[in-house]
Every structure is written in structure tokens, then in C-alpha cells.
Structure 1
Amino acid sequence: MTAGTAPRWGSALDSVVVYAQGAVCRRLARGSVPPGGRVRVTGLPRTLDAGSLRVRVTGGKGPRVIEARVDVEAEPLGTTVPDASHSEVERLREECAAARARHDRQVRLIDEVKALRPVPPTRRRDDPHRRTPVDAWLALADFVDERLTRLHSRLAESQEALGRAEHALTVAADRLARASTDAPAAHVRTTVSALVTFDGAGDAEGQAGVEVEYAVPGAIWAPAYRLTHRQGESSGRLVLRASIAQRTGEDWTGVRLALATADLGRRTDLPRLRSLRIGRRQPGPTPSGWREPPSGLADLFAGYDAAGRRPTVTHAAGGAEGRPVPVAVAVAGAPAPPLPPMTMPMPIPMAPQGYDQPLTAAPPGYGAPPPAPMAGSAAPQAFGGGSRFPASSAAMAPPAMPAAPGRAAPPRPPAPAPAGSGPTGQAGPPRPSGSELDYTALVLSGPEEQHARRGRLFPDVPFDPTAAEYRRRAESVAALPLPAHAVRPRESAGSFDHRFDAVARADIPSDGTWHTVTVGEIAVGLRTEYLCVPSVEQTVYATLALSNATGQALLAGPVEVTAGQDFLLTAALPTLAPGGVCRVGLGQAEGVRVTRRTNLHESTSGLRNTTTVLDHRIHVELANRLAEPVTVEVRERVPVSSDADVRIEERADWAPPRTDADAEQHAPGTRVWRVELPAGATTALDGGYEIRIPSAKSLAGGNRRS
């Protein structure tokens, strides 16, 4: 069974995990397994990363997947009605161009009429002076004024028509830009599918189910919250919401959604620590999966070169992603040389038969980049031979090709240097890179290639401009401006990664705009506190002390605070670790008043009045006008001295701030009063401190300071 005749299985998008940039989608498909074992799972987007395709059998029992690769099909659409949005934009663009042409024509007519001037005839030397025809001049002026009046009225109408056409074109273009990209092109239908090959039959009914997983770019998200609380309660409802924008080329309809802060492009392979050895004896190089090319490889194309002409080349499927492999056709009359054993592309990354050593580098997989090529390499290495790595024998160099009739003999390619003779001086067998160990991406070079590439396998990674354009459009969603107070997940998550699963399925179109989705409810502890710093501002502020009682961190983002049914404000919530506490400001509390008065008394003490005593007295009054008791935290400060001769004595019942996570935010010398005020009650707080300094010294700026 060929790829073109493989039965098609329709797939449905089931779940999506949105990462910091990009997403991983999972589709489900089910159908009957044909005798050949090859099926085509359709419905994949054009922007998918071909290297991230993963296929697994669902249900636990059934056939085994032995190969999966991406295949792209395109067919023209001759009778399909074009998209209405594109047609509307084209129609409005033509109308706008016609309106602009009419406007420009009126401007040119006005310029031509303005240029009308009376030109007197040229006077000869012997001609007498003529009388100026005033009536003709006035008639011309009246004609110009009347003509300009009509033209300017038409110009105003054309300007209004042009403005309306440009506005309509702008609206239609914006609607088209915001439209979903999950739609085929106007003239070509592109079908992206996964060619899956099974090893075995389905269940008793011949059915089998698969789960197709792939990564796509063009998806971002940012966290947002909604906090609902009631006065006097110690708990509240914190709803986690996510602002998601995606332009992956497929609409996410009814999908199970999850949000992660991880980076899809981050390396996942661990570094390899090697031992340090002192001395001449060093361990041998790690064996690789490379082997020398078969003997007599160059003789395979002797008849082709002796024919003296280029026959037509047929193509047989077998390359990666359905790309054809060029194979030479034997020329009539030319002897067919015996075929030596050659390495052919294999469907899955496993070591081919005949290898003497096991592989040391795995094929490049999703999430793990391929190993870096060896230093000093210049050209891509053919799998099974090579001009890239030094060889261990001269047998790698192909012999000279016989000359064709009427032509000079082709030049003999230079033989590769023996092992250890290169500039790097590395001995041992070559080490192929990850791309050369990806057997499904290797393509057999035909006779039309260079002599050093004939009959050898090389990685074939052609550039697809259409796929590159799709990916560029998808990745443009990363340039969207973030909502107010929003922070990107990678910046707020720090060095840890978190995942949040939505409680319900969601719909997110592929239009590149922000959509808000409710993820779930988070249990948090709330405590209403009132803070004031009367030495700076005699105003009391209300705050919410929010504690994270879950095992996951709360990422930074905007939070909408609601008290009962009343919306209060939108604030910025910082990143809150599990068990952490932070304050969210609610603004001024009009029901709680504070008043502060200070008094300074200066005196001397000591046997000879050698010490100056600065006695500072502080009086703070609090009044609660609310209908419920409140807890007020009053913050004051005392001087801090680094001079041993200066002594500071406190006379108050205040205390230093609590030694918690917020203690680092307080300046040295901060003192705190915590007062419980019943409803409608008032209280007074008295405190102070004495500064004792030698009489020969004084405070910078004067001793009499508040």
C-alpha cells in the first residue's frame, strides 16, 4: 500500500497545553487498520513542528506504531467560492482607489483653473500703447471664481467620499486581520496529515485508536485573577483566569485546556561530565554508529557515465515527509553493474544491520536538540561515507570515473585525509551528528549529484517558503501588547515551572487576539488590615493580607478586587509562593481617622552639663467610624545612630516589625503599633524617644527637628 492509497482517519482536537510561547496539541482518531498497516490521520495544522510529531495507540491493547511522519498535500480549488472577507476587502480597496482618483482629478482641475491669467499680446517697438480691456479681465475673474466655487464643492464631496471609503476599508481590513486563520486559502487547499504505519492488526473488530501529539508556535498566555471577599470574613474566592492569544492556524473548540510556564525551546539533555586524566594514556574515543562505505560504490555509476547522455530520472517515494528519492534508470545497451550493498533510509531511528558498534547519539527528538557537530567540519557528512569526517583508510575515496565518448574524464575527487592527520588531530572513527542519525530524513543521492555524493545518504532538509510564512504569521502573536498589570509567565515563575489545568473545556479561535478563560478557583486566606504612617501622611489605608494556602505558586498578574457585589479596583498581584503572604492595597479608608502631634524638649544633663538631651514626644489619636471592629497598624520611626557616643532611649510600647518576609522591606528604625479598635471607638497612643549626644556634637541640620 502506498501513501496515496492509505485510508484517511479524521481526527478531533481533544486537549491543548499552552506554554510560555507555543502549545502542544493532542488529537484523537479512530478507524479500521488496513492490511498494509498504513493510514493517514488528517486535520493537522500547517504550522506544526514536524520534529515534534508523536503518535501512540490508545486503549492499551492493539497494534504497535512503527513509523509516523508528516505529509503535506495541496490541490487547487477551481470552483470554490472565495472567502467573503477577502472579497469585501478587495472590493473596498478598489472603491477607495476610485475615490482617491476622483479626488486627485478635482485637485488637478482646481490647479489648472487657478493658473488662468490674462496674458497681454506682445507689444512691438513701433506700436502705440493699447487700452487695457478691463471688461475682459473682469469676465475672466468672474469665470475663474465661479469655476473654482463649483470645483471646491465637488472637492469637498470627493473628500467625504474618500474618507468614508478609507474608513470602510480600514474596518474591513481589521476584521480580516482579526479573523480566524483556521480557513483554507482562496485558491489552494492544503492538507497536513500524519502518515502512521502499524505493526499488527486492530482489536476484534479491526478498529484501533491513536493519539497524535504535536507542537505549534503562535500561542501565548498571561495569568489574571478575580478576588471576591466580604468584610469581616477570613476567607475569600480567588478565581484564576488566563488571557490567551493564539494564531496557530486551527480553532480550539471544546478542548481541555492546561497552562504551563515552561519554555518549549529549552534544552532538556543533561551535560556529560568526563574525567580528568593526567598522563599519556588516554581512553579511546566512544564508538559511533558510522561505518565505511561498501567497496565498489563508484563502479555503480560506470555505465551511466559511459552512456554520454543524461537519461530521465524517475522518483520513488521513500524520503522524509514524502519527499522522493532520485534513482538512476539503466540506459539501454549499457551493461548493468552489480549492485553493492547500500544503506537505505529506515523508518524509525534504530541501528541498521551490519554496524559493528552501538549508536552513541540518539536522533534529535522533541525537546532535546541534536548534538553539536565536531569542530573543524566543513561539509555535511554522508551516512556511510564521507567527506566530513576523517576516514580510517583510503578506501573511502571513490576511484576515477571512466570518460564518456567525446568528453574528458571527470576529475577525481580528492581522497579524505586519514584519521588523526586533520587539523584537530582526533583519532578514531567519525562521530555523526544527530541529523545524520535521523534515518527517516536521509535521502539517497542519485547519479546527477557530484561524484563524492553519488550513492550515499545525506540529510535532506529543503526550505519550504510556505511553511516559513505560516510560522512567521503564527509567531507574530508574541508581539501583542500585554493587558494592564500583566506579566509574562516566564518572568513571574522564576526558576520553577508550574502547570494549571482548567476545570472546563474552552473555545479559543485562531484570530491572534486576547481571550479570557476561567481556569479554576484557588483557596486563599484573607485578612483585612488598616495601615497608616502618620509621620508622612495622616491617612489610613485599607489592605488585604492574602495568604497562599495551596501547593502551587500564584503568578504575578492583575487582580480585580470585589467586595460583595461592588467592584473596588484592579491591582497588581505579585508572585506568591506556596504559604506566602502579600498585601493588596484597597485605597484610603474614609471610616478610620488618624491624627499625630509631636513635641520636642531640649535640655542638658551631666555633672557639667556635658550631655545634650533631645526629648521627642509623639501623640497619635485613632478613631473608628465603621460599624465593625478593625485592626490598625501604625508605623513610626526612631533615629538610628552609628556613633558610640550617641545614645537613643525609647519610651513607648511599640515594637519592631515582625520577622517575616515583609521585614526586609522596612527601613532600619521602624516601629509598629497594632491596635484593635471596636466599632465607633477612639484611642490615643503616646510614645517617644530621647537622644543623648555630647555637647560638643550636634545633629546634622540642627537639633530641633520633628
Structure 2
Amino acid sequence: MKSEETPRWASALDAVVVYAQGALCSRLARGTVPPQGRVRVAGLPRSMDPGSLRARVLGDTGVRVTEVRVEVDAEPAATGSTDALRQEVDRLGDEEAAVEGRRDRLLARIKEITDLRPVPPARKRDDPHRRTPVEAWLTLADFVDERLTALHRRLVELETELSRVQHDLTVATDRWTRSSTDAPAAHVETTVCAVLTLDGTGEVELELEYGVPGAVWVPAYRLAYRQSADSGSLVLRASVAQRTGEDWTGVRIALATADLRRRTDLPQLRSLRIGRRQPAPAATGWREPPAGLADLFTGYDSAGPRPARRPTTAAVAVGAAPPPPPPPPAFAGGAPAPVLPPVPMPPQETLYGVRPPRPVDPGGLPPSVQAAAPDSSQARQRSRPRAGGAPAARPPAPAASMAPPPQAPPAPPAPVTGPPQPTGDELDYAALVLDGPEQPGNRRGRLFPHTPSDPVAVEYRRRAEAVASLPLPGHAVRPRKSAGSFDHRYDAVARADIPSDGTWHTVTISEIPVGLRTEYLCVPSVQEKVYGTLVLSNATDQALLAGPVEVTVDDDFLLTAALPTLAPGGVRRMGLGPAEGIQVTRRAHLNESTAGLRNNVTVLDHRVQVDVANRLARPVRVEVHEQVPVTSDADVRIEERADWAVPDDEKGPDHHAPGTRVWRVDLPAGGTAALHGGYEIRIPAAKALAGGNRRS
């Protein structure tokens, strides 16, 4: 059935699921099933993967899809479908060239007026000097000044106009570079259609699903909270970039961290049994050829040679007189071009579907022997007597003696036990093609894989996949890297528009409630500075992937930080930068002494005092970290004398190093606190600490 007789249904993109790389698109089409049951659904992009096309009927209508395939149609583009941005760039380029031309001509005119000088007439040798009238000098000066004033005024206007045109050209060029790839790039518009065969009658709604490359996404967040509350609002957003060749306008967006190209079929674990009784082998999908397949093309082969067609080369029909040569073409000088005589071809008997024998050279030797035989001119040169009376070379052997030596018959193939095991390509029945009678005898009438290659579609997919190399936004992390071994999906609450321009676009997905508390952290032994942190707890069943987060405190933007991956039920800490309103000071004192019966134990007594002052107008909670040395030697003892605590790594948001001790103190507005701690290190006299016994 011709394509114009098949009704064409319009389709609209409804939903898109963006994976870590690539996307899965869903289109909807509605119409009445024609009597022949075949329809064409247009609007598919050129970069789609033909093997990913799926179709189904929505609702319980009794109609089902029995066949679906992809076809590409080419038709002249409409008059109004040309690239307006490209035309605007060309127009502005021509306008810039015109303004530059007017400016250059005006500069040449200014130079001509500037070069005007009074030139006295030529004076003879005996003539006395004459005085030039002052009025003439003044008149010329006034004329030059008046003309230059008008020309410079016009030059300023042209320079302003040229700057405006150049700015407009730069903007138009940038818009053209970043424009969507959904528009046709030539005067011929190619359309990818899905040809469906439906079984049933009535009005139906179809859903077409297909995969496309050229789409990536990274998560982003916006966190808003108030300092007096213990919870906040975390808005999940996404930076999406796509260059699939079609604009996503008003579509339902979903984001997934899975790999679209990863195989999802489960492996089959087969058991090995010992004994004579074995399970029946599984079906392989291979079937024996039907009986009499070799006789299927007997009539085709016995039909004789193909009908003679009008020869277009030197070959002519067998048994017919050669056609008259065409009139010789004339060169530029009028002389006719030389015509080579046609080479007579030996008669050959060609049957339908039978490969013709290799042509034989008029010399009587097959091509393989001719390649090995020496050239006649070379043979004549070798047969001539050499200078100095050298004997002549032996003439070449006759053709009969130059036949190739008989080759040993090929070894018979090893016997195959059991039916053949087809590969995955041979089991793809949609890609199998029945070979016709023109193929060799072992392929005629059999199914073989055939995957046609469309270089245009390959180029479209290559351009689409280039979007994966876009530079990431600040603090952004690829979803596959932050998701780990788990896959997550996030559905947007509203429809969105994402053009096919290959740049990042921000889409709001949903709002996630999180638990928040503000804590201030300092390690005075390293740096006497307090840092603000947010402790986030995820009480939902969705994981929060790593990415940038814009923090807003009391409706004021604070900073953009990096949010770590937060699993469901997890607790993590996020830094907010130094807190200048809280001051901390650390003082350490070391007293070294000896103990024991013979003073054979060195005692290192460390005293630490940390003063914390809150200069903020609200109460705060400060966490002060200290480090206590650890030892694996049983003779070295460490005794602590402080009210600090050992952090609980299982419940805390951070992982602490061994020997970490923590003070947690709540300070009111304007309050201060003094923290005291210490420890003793008892070392036998025969041992010493690594790096010396000095401690600050």
C-alpha cells in the first residue's frame, strides 16, 4: 500500500523520563481505525533509536497493535518553515557590511577635505614675490572647517549605528547558536513516522514509546528555613539539557538515575545433573528449513537469461549486433574526441539467481593465471640477448603448463551434534530478512539478520550524544556517581518546557520536607574559628542525591553549598561557612614530671582550656572538638580528666577519627563558657613517643 493512501495521524509529546544519559519519550495519537487497519503516526525525531519503538492502545477498546515499524519520509519544507534566526543573522551581516562601507567612504571624504591646502601659482625666476590675500586663506579655512564639522557629525552617527548593528549581530548569532534543533536544517524536511497495523475498529488512542540519546540531568536544590524552627523546606530541582531534535513543550518530566542502555533481563542459572537422565533442552528458536526448499527456485533458474536491457557500457547482448556508437563529443576546439572500439565480450549463459562465471580473458587464461603470468612486453625483453654475449632468457611456458597446481580438497566440517544455537541477532525476528533468488544457494529462501544503516540518523545521534560533554554547574555531581548501586526516580509535579538547544534548563520537581537544626562546630587545636553547619535528616523514602543547594535563611539568601548524598533515614552535616559572631580561644599547658619507685615513668600532664563567647542575638549550640592521643602499647597509659564525651559514630552525622572528644555547650545570647579538659600520658623511661615527648 502506498504511503499517501495510508492515513496520517498527528501526535503530541506527552511525557519524558530522563535517565542518567538518554531519555524515554511517550507520544499520544488519536484517530479512527481505517478499514485496512494501517496508519502512520508522524512527529518522531530523527535521533530516535529504531529498536526502542513500542506502541499500545490505551483503554479497553478491543483494538490491539499487531505490527509497528519505522519509516522516514522526505518532503519539501513549507515556505514559512525556514530558519528565521539564520535569516536574521544574514540580514544583520549584510547591514553591518553596508554600514562599514558607508563609514569607509565617509572617512575617505574626510581625508580629502583635510588634505585641502592653498597652493600658490608657479613663479618664474625673474618675477617678484607676490602676497596672497588674507581673505582667500580665511575663506578656504572656513570652508574646510564647515565641511569637516558636518562630516564628523555624520561619522559619529555612523559609528553609533555600526555599534548597534554589531551588538544586534552578536546577539542574533548567539541565539542562532543556542537555538533549538527541532527546525529543519535544509529545504527538504525529513519526518520519521511509525507505521502501525491495528486489529479492530473504532476510535482509539495510541501511545508510542521510544528512546532517544542526547539528554542528561543533574540534581539541584533550594533550601529555605528559619532559625527558630527545627524543620525546613527543601525544593528538589534539576538542571536538564537535551539535544534530541525535538522540543519538549508542556510535557510531564520524570528523572531517573538508572542507565537506559543497561540490560535488565535476568540471567538463567542452569543446573548440572550427573546421571543418564537429563532435562529436555530448552527451545533455541531454530527451525529446520521446509522440505523442498531447494526446488522452490527451479522454475526461476530454468527461465533462462534475464531480458536484455539497453546497454549503457561496452557490454552488448549475446548474439546481437553491437549498437551504433553514439556521436563523439566535441571538445572546445571543435575536434571530435577519440572513440575507443568496443571490446567484444564472450557469450555467457546467465540464469536467474545463478551467479555468472568469472570472465575469461581473450588470451584463454583465467584471471588467476593471468595475474601470475608475466607480461608479454616483459617476456620479449627477457628473450632478447643481453650485452656481452649473455645467453637469452628462456621463453615463457605455454598456457597449458602454467595452470595452477591442483589444490587439496577442503577438509569436511566437523559434525555438529544437536540443533544450531542461534545468536541474539538471529533471534531478533523483526530484523530478519528473507533472501531472494539472487543470493547464493545456501542463502536463498532463508532468514538472515539485516540491519540497514542510515548515515543521516547516525549523524543525528552523534550530534545528540555530544550533550553529555557539557560542563557541569557548580557543585553538581552526575546521578550515577551519587546514586551508587541504587536507582531512584523523581516525578515532577507540573509540566515543563525544555527546548532542544543543548544548554542547561532548571526544572522544579517537588518539595521535600527535611529535619533541620543549626549547629556550630570548631576545632580550636587546628584553627580558632567557629563554622556554622546544618544537620539535615531525611525522614522520607526518597534519597537526596549530591548536588548544589541554595540556602535561604529568614528569607535572605545566604550562600550556595554542596549537599551530600542523603539516603532515606540518613543524617548528614552541611557546612555554611565561618560564623563571625562566635569567638573561641584555646589555651594549653604541659607539665612534664617523673613518677615511680625509681622515677622510671615519664608523666606528661596536658591541661586544655577553651573559652567560647556568643556575640549573636540568639542562643546557639556549639560543638568543640579535641584530640586525645591513642596508643597500641600496653605499657603506655593515657588517663583523661575532663567532662568531654566520646562521639557516637553510629548516630552522628559525621565519621570521627580515633581519639576525638566532643564538648557540646548551649550558649544564650551574649553568653560565655569556659571548657576545661586534660589528660596524662605515662610512658616508661625506656620508651618515647613517636616524634618526641613534646606536646603543645
TM-score, normalising length: structure 1 = 0.72
**What does the per-residue CA deviation read over 1:399-432, in whole Å, with 9 as the maximum and x for residues that have no partner?**
xxx96589999679xxxx9xxx855x64111233
Residue 582 (1) aligns with residue 572 (2): yes
- Residues 195 and 539 of structure 1: CA distance in aligned 2, closer, same or farther (over 3 Å): same
Verify the 8 A CA contact 1:503 1:519 in the aligned structure 2. Answer: yes
Q: 1:262 aligns with which of 252, 258, 271?
A: 258
- Residues 607 and 297 of structure 1: CA distance in aligned 2, closer, same or farther (over 3 Å): closer
Verify the 8 A CA contact 2:426 2:449 in the aligned structure 1. Answer: yes
CA shift for structure 1 position 170: 6.7
Verify the 8 A CA contact 1:285 1:428 in the aligned structure 2. Answer: no
Residue 498 (1) aligns with residue 494 (2): no
Verify the 8 A CA contact 1:635 1:672 in the aligned structure 2. Answer: yes
CA shift for structure 1 position 168: 7.9
Aligned to 1:552: 542
Paired residue type of 1:542: G
- Residues 664 and 299 of structure 1: CA distance in aligned 2, closer, same or farther (over 3 Å): same
Aligned to 1:39: 39
Residue 612 (1) aligns with residue 602 (2): yes
Paired residue type of 1:56: R
Aligned to 2:641: 651
Counterpart CA distance in 1 for 2:266 and 2:548 is 37
Once the two structures are superposed, the pairs formed by residues 152-231 of structure 1 within 5 Å of their partners are: 172-202=172-202, 207-231=203-227
Paired residue type of 2:28: L
CA shift for structure 1 position 100: 13
Counterpart CA distance in 1 for 2:527 and 2:572 is 22
Aligned to 1:84: 84
Aligned to 1:516: 506
| Higher gyration radius (CA) | 2
- Residues 276 and 408 of structure 1: CA distance in aligned 2, closer, same or farther (over 3 Å): closer
Paired residue type of 1:429: P
CA shift for structure 1 position 281: 7.6
Aligned to 2:306: 310
Once the two structures are superposed, the pairs formed by residues 520-599 of structure 1 within 5 Å of their partners are: 520-599=510-589
Residue 460 (1) aligns with residue 450 (2): yes
Counterpart CA distance in 2 for 1:294 and 1:30 is 42
Secondary structure of the corresponding residue to residue 467 of structure 2? helix
- Residues 696 and 431 of structure 1: CA distance in aligned 2, closer, same or farther (over 3 Å): closer
Verify the 8 A CA contact 2:571 2:653 in the aligned structure 1. Answer: no
Verify the 8 A CA contact 1:598 1:616 in the aligned structure 2. Answer: yes
- Residues 4 and 632 of structure 1: CA distance in aligned 2, closer, same or farther (over 3 Å): same
CA shift for structure 1 position 568: 1.2
Counterpart CA distance in 1 for 2:351 and 2:679 is 112
Verify the 8 A CA contact 2:302 2:352 in the aligned structure 1. Answer: no
- Residues 704 and 467 of structure 1: CA distance in aligned 2, closer, same or farther (over 3 Å): closer
Paired residue type of 1:514: W
Verify the 8 A CA contact 2:305 2:352 in the aligned structure 1. Answer: no
Verify the 8 A CA contact 1:403 1:409 in the aligned structure 2. Answer: no
- Residues 79 and 607 of structure 1: CA distance in aligned 2, closer, same or farther (over 3 Å): closer
Q: 1:633 aligns with which of 604, 623, 634?
A: 623
Secondary structure of the corresponding residue to residue 504 of structure 1? strand
Verify the 8 A CA contact 2:300 2:352 in the aligned structure 1. Answer: no
Range 283-292 or range 15-24, more displaced: 283-292
**Residue segments in structure 2 that go unaligned for 5+ positions in a row:** 102-159, 310-347, 359-408
Counterpart CA distance in 1 for 2:576 and 2:209 is 45
Range 519-528 or range 264-273, more displaced: 264-273
Range 443-452 or range 627-636, more displaced: 443-452
| Amino-acid identity (%) | 70
- Residues 475 and 96 of structure 1: CA distance in aligned 2, closer, same or farther (over 3 Å): farther
Aligned to 2:667: 677
CA shift for structure 1 position 46: 1.4
Q: 2:243 aligns with which of 237, 240, 247?
A: 247
Once the two structures are superposed, the pairs formed by residues 678-697 of structure 1 within 5 Å of their partners are: 678-697=668-687
CA shift for structure 1 position 92: 7.3
Verify the 8 A CA contact 2:544 2:566 in the aligned structure 1. Answer: yes
Aligned to 1:344: none
- Residues 456 and 312 of structure 1: CA distance in aligned 2, closer, same or farther (over 3 Å): farther
Residue 10 (1) aligns with residue 10 (2): yes
Once the two structures are superposed, the pairs formed by residues 326-405 of structure 1 within 5 Å of their partners are: 404=350
Range 557-566 or range 283-292, more displaced: 283-292
Verify the 8 A CA contact 1:232 1:528 in the aligned structure 2. Answer: no
Secondary structure of the corresponding residue to residue 675 of structure 2? strand
CA shift for structure 1 position 600: 1.2
RMSD: 3.7
- Residues 198 and 312 of structure 1: CA distance in aligned 2, closer, same or farther (over 3 Å): farther
Counterpart CA distance in 1 for 2:234 and 2:354 is 82
- Residues 170 and 427 of structure 1: CA distance in aligned 2, closer, same or farther (over 3 Å): farther
Q: 1:507 aligns with which of 497, 516, 519?
A: 497
Counterpart CA distance in 2 for 1:409 and 1:534 is 90
**What does the per-residue CA deviation read over 1:280-301, in whole Å, with 9 as the maximum and x for residues that have no partner?**
8866643333233334434444
Counterpart CA distance in 1 for 2:444 and 2:685 is 99
Counterpart CA distance in 2 for 1:532 and 1:655 is 15
- Residues 686 and 92 of structure 1: CA distance in aligned 2, closer, same or farther (over 3 Å): same
Paired residue type of 2:215: A
- Residues 663 and 611 of structure 1: CA distance in aligned 2, closer, same or farther (over 3 Å): farther
Aligned to 1:449: 439
**What does the per-residue CA deviation read over 1:103-138, in whole Å, with 9 as the maximum and x for residues that have no partner?**
xxxxxxxxxxxxxxxxxxxxxxxxxxxxxxxxxxxx
CA shift for structure 1 position 659: 2.8
Range 69-78 or range 572-581, more displaced: 69-78
Counterpart CA distance in 2 for 1:286 and 1:97 is 75
Counterpart CA distance in 1 for 2:695 and 2:35 is 96
- Residues 445 and 169 of structure 1: CA distance in aligned 2, closer, same or farther (over 3 Å): farther
**What does the per-residue CA deviation read over 1:54-107, in whole Å, with 9 as the maximum and x for residues that have no partner?**
111112223111111112111234856632333455677899999999xxxxxx
CA shift for structure 1 position 701: 4.0
CA shift for structure 1 position 475: 0.8
CA shift for structure 1 position 231: 1.1
Secondary structure of the corresponding residue to residue 70 of structure 1? strand
Q: 1:287 aligns with which of 283, 288, 295?
A: 283
**Residue segments in structure 1 that go unaligned for 5+ positions in a row:** 102-159, 314-401
CA shift for structure 1 position 229: 1.2
Aligned residues: 557
**What does the per-residue CA deviation read over 1:256-302, in whole Å, with 9 as the maximum and x for residues that have no partner?**
11100011100111112122345688666433332333344344444
Verify the 8 A CA contact 1:306 1:404 in the aligned structure 2. Answer: no
Aligned to 1:19: 19
Counterpart CA distance in 2 for 1:40 and 1:250 is 19
**What does the per-residue CA deviation read over 1:277-329, in whole Å, with 9 as the maximum and x for residues that have no partner?**
4568866643333233334434444444445533599xxxxxxxxxxxxxxxx
**What does the per-residue CA deviation read over 1:524-568, in whole Å, with 9 as the maximum and x for residues that have no partner?**
000000111111111111110011111011001011111122211
Paired residue type of 2:272: L
TM-score, normalising length: structure 2 = 0.73
CA shift for structure 1 position 660: 2.0
**What does the per-residue CA deviation read over 1:141-165, in whole Å, with 9 as the maximum and x for residues that have no partner?**
xxxxxxxxxxxxxxxxxxx999999
Secondary structure of the corresponding residue to residue 86 of structure 1? helix
Aligned to 1:665: 655
